[in-house]
Structure 1
Amino acid sequence: MTNFDITPEERASAKAFFKRQLFREPPYTAPGQVDLAGKTAIVTGSNIGLGLECSRQLLDLGLTKLIIAVRSESKGQQAKKDLLIGRAASTIIEVWSLDLCSYDSITAFAERTKTLDRLDIVIHNAGIVKANLEINQSTGHDECTQVNYLSLALLSILLLPILKEKNTAPDVGRLVLVSSDTAAWAAFKERDSTPLLSAFDKPEYFDAAQRYWASKLLGQFFLKELAERVPSSVAVINAPNPGWCYGTGLNRENGGLILNIIKRLVGRSSAVGARALVDAAVNHGPESHGHYLEDGKPQPMAPLVYASEGDQLAKKLWKETMAELAFAKVEDIVIRLSEK
């Protein structure tokens, strides 16, 4: 394990959480510090909240072409209109359809990216919180787990070879998987189930907050396993934590007056949280590969990730994920990339 300035257990504490929220912020990358001229980026979930603000900040750094990847093209077009205000005529923003509830939509999106002249940055920001257990009719899985984990895994693996092939800059491309400190709070009661993934589809395990936290924990397991197999010479893969933010639309099904008041008192604005995503994409090189980033530096993931039990769970999850996504030949893709 990397030497951090805090233990995984300390970082997972309520004290550390409130200290981060109240007294720390992700670093701001000012125009002039980084020049993204000529580069192309994809940001998922970019019509609102963190994704929208992240897109705005990338454009402020001179990004030439932005792909807004959203489920609702009409909302994407509205975001495009907003983002183009005050921009140079040479700024290119395209709205591409991406439904993370559909494997067909994800594979079609990945296929479309092959038509790009170049691809430098992919920021997978899209995520959901569901108030109730909802089973995705096309995949048979819990929708929160589907969108926040399985679809993230599929899209990430499908885009990695394209990031490698289409990146013509001296520096390698960036794959940024937005994470959360709440992964450390997951009770993860499903851990003893075999198979593991199907346990998330059972009503007896569902709790809205716990399900979201667990989906982010699965994402940290995935980051660990993927980065061990795919070298940073293909793309730098990291996972920033934007912190608890208001104005993201993430908790629209679980909101309430008290929660919203607390979030306004303790939370960060979407613009501040989005700095973490931009920082991960433009300020960190191969040294950040496979790392969780918090307020501009590598920090420990959930304590379970570093435990022997967690290592076994990560490998079990990887095996089941490869089987679930076998239709897209994801394991073959990873094997080929591991040889780069």
Structure 2
Amino acid sequence: MLMQLSSEEIKVEDFREDRTIDNDVLLDVRDLETHFFGEESVTHALGGISFQVKKGETLGVVGESGCGKSVTALSIMRLLPKHSARTIGGEVLFHGRNLLNLPEREMRKIRGDKIAMIFQDPMTSLNPVYTVGRQIAEAIEIHTSAPRSDALVKAIDVLRLVRIADPERRVNNYPHEMSGGMRQRAMIAMALSCSPELLIADEPTTALDVTIQAQILRLIVDLKERMGTAVMFITHDLGVVAETCQRVIVMYAGRIVEQATVTDLFARPMHPYTKALMRSVPDRRRGKERRLPEISGIVPSLREPTVGCSFAPRCPFATDVCWEQRPAIKEYGADHAAACWHAEEVLSA
């Protein structure tokens, strides 16, 4: 279970926008394809992925390191390095507008305002030569045209919102003067300062100890529920997904291999990679003498396009068709889909 925070009431009236939380699609990603270009090779980081984020929901994105989770977020935000990366296909529709076609000036109005992002390591994401309060206030000034004095006052309020003690003093701290947990809270404060409709959290607890991880996760869930913000939660931790998300997509080698509601995914995994991930999670019921099963083999290189299923070299269910043809993602009931030639066999195994 996640650690419960104190029962002190959080005041979010100053940060809430009038918006209806319903099942309408907020973000619609269609066939997104991103490549990284080297001197002698091309890395196919994303191979045409499609998914949706609905208003007010939390969508989990899981998979091994290098599967394309962070590249997906950076492609949506258009924050990839221009000299080496390029989104070469697909659409990213936000309220029906394709973000990939917007001029940079228009994208800047959306980035940090309507869509905000929490990065993995706040120490490298926060500017070390400016105070935390100044950095939060700058975001408020840019997107609301508030004078600096008002923006600093709101920066204090938003630091209080994310449970930072003595925010009047902490607003003048530099990042190195804060602990890891406080820096992450400051990053969350910056992301929430303009009441975004969508918050992308890219493994926000990776560098934190277990106790602080639980507090940060509980804080994100609590603020999401109170402010009506949709969350795209990127993680490799299935426990986090079970605790915080309503729906989940599973990525492997730059592609989505399965997507479903959290309840259905845990009850009926239909892709062998998903099933292998779940089996590799520690379970006390297995007994002390049972070793955790591992997923044999390694993730394939993304520099060469795969002819068949990219998981075939590691899959116990693989047959000739898996090596020869890439499976399309297919629906198996309401809001559950998998890209596997042997999905029903995997389910019954």
TM over 0.5: no
Considering fraction of residues, name the structure with more strand: 2
Whose Rg is larger?
A: 2
Q: TM-score, normalised by structure 1?
A: 0.29
Q: TM-score, normalised by structure 2?
A: 0.28
Considering fraction of residues, name the structure with more helix: 1
